[in-house]
Chains A and B, each alone.
Chain A
Amino acid sequence: MAERAERILKNIGLRGLKNAVKGNDYRREASISYGILVGGYILLQLLTAAGLISHNLQGQFVPICVYISLAVSLNLVVGISGELSLGHAGFMAVGAFGGVLMSRILGQSMSFEPAIVIISMIFGAIVASIAGFIIGIPILGLRGDYLAIVTLAFGEIIRNLMNVMYFGFVDGKLKFAFNHTIEGIEDTDRIITGAIGATGTKTMSNFTWGLLLCLFTVFIVLNLKNSKQGRAIMSIRDNRIAGESIGLDVRKYKLMAFVVSAALAGMAGCLFGLNYSTLVPVKFNFNTSVLVLVFVVLGGVGNIWGGIIAAALLTVLPETFRQFADYRMLTYAIVLILVMIATYNPSIKSRLNAFLGKIRPKKNKGSSKAKRKKSGKEAE
């Protein structure tokens, strides 16, 4: 038996293995991701303490964390499940307004802030996952571009619903109305006022909460990736028919990825909502969805720590370009184009790899070769 196994190995097993690529190293991926997050946090805290960071940029810390966690959660749908979703801001909105609402309700009887933040975030995640579930059931039969278009539409529907929702306290009781103001309400008791959004929110977020959110999101997504459910999701992405042939329920696992992603987006949205005393629904429009998708694509689809870096840089970059005022968006766009060309153009990429190969010790020599070979095969 063992003898035969060896013969087989000689025959076919290892002959071609010099071109084979090693698979995903989950431990390495996790340590890089956590390292970037914690390292970035410590660095920024030190720089802030030294007074080297502008007040403007300090105000961006929480949004950066929120965008990082949005990028990581969207990666679950785009990278791991392989479906294009353009409605991520919708789930963020549900989480944001749900969370703000919860924080106000809790604020009436509680004064311990961390508990309020945690409960609000969990509530935001729950309502967003419910929204994700309701939307996911009818649309996950669709594939590719069609799914992208429908998620886009649903994202807009959610935002427009937020535009006509009214929440507030009347005599200490929570009241809800559609499309008209609640009668007998005082200004300070309004929570959500249609298109004006959530007002009078007590801001409870800070950079540490942001870090915890990011760590939690990365923890969940990476763990999920390396579990039986994650493997099922990824195998359906790689080959749907083969997935069915080994007994995987395609819709169930697509829905699972979608709902978990929505819940994490809701959690991030909640922290975002708690960061501002006034929050308008317009903030969660199509542009935000696309922005998060840009983070994911730029960081490398399916690459968690790439998405973290992309989200952080692309949130900071427009701020640093503020001095160029008029050329700010132009520079931003050019940077995007250049990065995409450098990372996704096969000829430039191979040159870049060859260049990096010279600098680095010969470790991944086979990988670029095999990758190029594979892309050639796909082109055929």
Chain B
Amino acid sequence: MFIPEKDKGKTPILEVKNLGIDFGGLTAVDNFNLTLGRTEIGGLIGPNGAGKTTIFNMLTKVYEPTRGEIFFDGKSTKGMSTVDINKAGMARTFQNIRLFDKLTVEENIKVALHHTTNYSLIDGMLHTPKYRHEEFRIRKEAMKYLKIFGMTKTAEYRAGSLPYGAQRRLEIMRALATKPKLLLLDEPAAGMNPSETSELMDTIREIRDRFQIAVFLIEHDMSLVMGICEGIVVLNYGRVIAKGWPEDIQSNPKVIEAYLGKSRGKMEEEEEKEKADIEKALRKGRLESAASGKPDRKEGE
């Protein structure tokens, strides 16, 4: 995308070149290119089934891309697993929320702090002083994240029993707690009402400013995308149809067509053309059947 002024001169956090994936004979995504600045908020939009989540899955190596290359923080991610990707500094949320339902909110964040928690299995089984010290530390850290999102009061509730909006927030918190350099959000505002969405926008901006990370998000809520994204990619049928600043995207005819269908004049024009084609074909068919001497009815049977 267009790297913002502040990120110029630094290696982009994410660089994707000619990315593509086939499922059997079907090309789900093709020729996808992207550059994301170190503290940029990027948006990925497109109609249902356009391949947005597939791109996220390729970035996090849930799927191995068929073509193309991904450079994360200047390094190729070829051959890395989902676990390696996270350790390298990319964290994500999911379209259909995936929390650890039976663990508490606090524990969900503590799990994400796993790699910064420093004690062995023996310490864990015997609850040694080292265990106590580390647990105390990560508890404080987990509370810090909860405070940013205003969810301290939910700490000891089971994640699976929280209301929807809180679950979405928790998922973002959990991703953040792995200390990523790039945060991928898959429809973070899905199912939220307008006031919740506007809170979320503030939160995402605050996350970026506070942790100095890049955010790349998929979203259907245009107010959110246009409100916080600094660059937008539009995808349709697995291909990029537009790329640019929010204002450019809003007025791009291809984007409007992908979302709303064709304009009325254009549709009528095409309909008439189609009608003419059908009539032509019918006339041709009648002529042919008359020539071969077969009755018309038989064709229908």
Contacts and interface: CB of A to CB of B under 8 A. Distances in A.
Given A245-B91, A248-B114, A223 B147 contact: no
Interface residues of A, number: 46
Given A24-B104, A247-B178, A8 B112 contact: no
Contacts of B83: 244, 247-249
Nearest to A25: B156
A9 interface: yes
25 contacts: A4-B199, A8-B149, A8-B199, A11-B196, A12-B169, A12-B196, A16-B163, A20-B157, A20-B162, A22-B156, A22-B158, A23-B105, A23-B106, A223-B124, A227-B131, A228-B134, A230-B124, A235-B103, A239-B99, A245-B86, A246-B91, A246-B112, A246-B178, A256-B121, A374-B161
B117 interface: yes
Interface string B85-120: 011000110100011111111111011101101010
A53 interface: no
A12 B166 contact: yes
A224 B120 CA distance: 11
Given A23-B104, A238-B102, A246-B91, A229 B165 contact: no
Nearest to B178: A246
A232 B123 CA distance: 15
B161 A231 contact: no
Taking residues whose C-beta sits less than 8 angstroms from the other chain, chain B's interface range is: 35 or more
A82 to B, nearest CB: 10
Interface in A238-268: 238-239, 241-249, 256, 260
Closest 10 CB pairs of A and B: A16-B163, A227-B124, A23-B104, A5-B150, A247-B86, A12-B165, A8-B150, A242-B98, A238-B100, A235-B100
A141 to B, nearest CB: 14
Interface of B: 60, 62, 81-83, 86-87, 91-92, 94, 98-108, 110-112, 114-115, 117, 119, 121, 123-127, 131, 134-135, 138, 147, 149-154, 156-158, 160-166, 169, 174-175, 177-178, 195-196, 199, 202
Contacts of A22: 104, 156-158
A247 B94 contact: no
Given A20-B162, A22-B156, A246-B91, A9 B150 contact: yes
A224 B119 CA distance: 12
Contacts of A246: 86, 91, 111-112, 114, 174-175, 177-178
Contacts of A12: 163, 165-166, 169, 196, 199
Contacts of A5: 147, 149-150, 152
Interface string A260-301: 100000000000000000000000000000000000000000
A243 to B, nearest CB: 8
A339 interface: no
Given A5-B147, A238-B101, A247-B115, A16 B166 contact: yes
Interface in A206-239: 220, 223-224, 227-232, 234-235, 237-239
A201 to B, nearest CB: 30
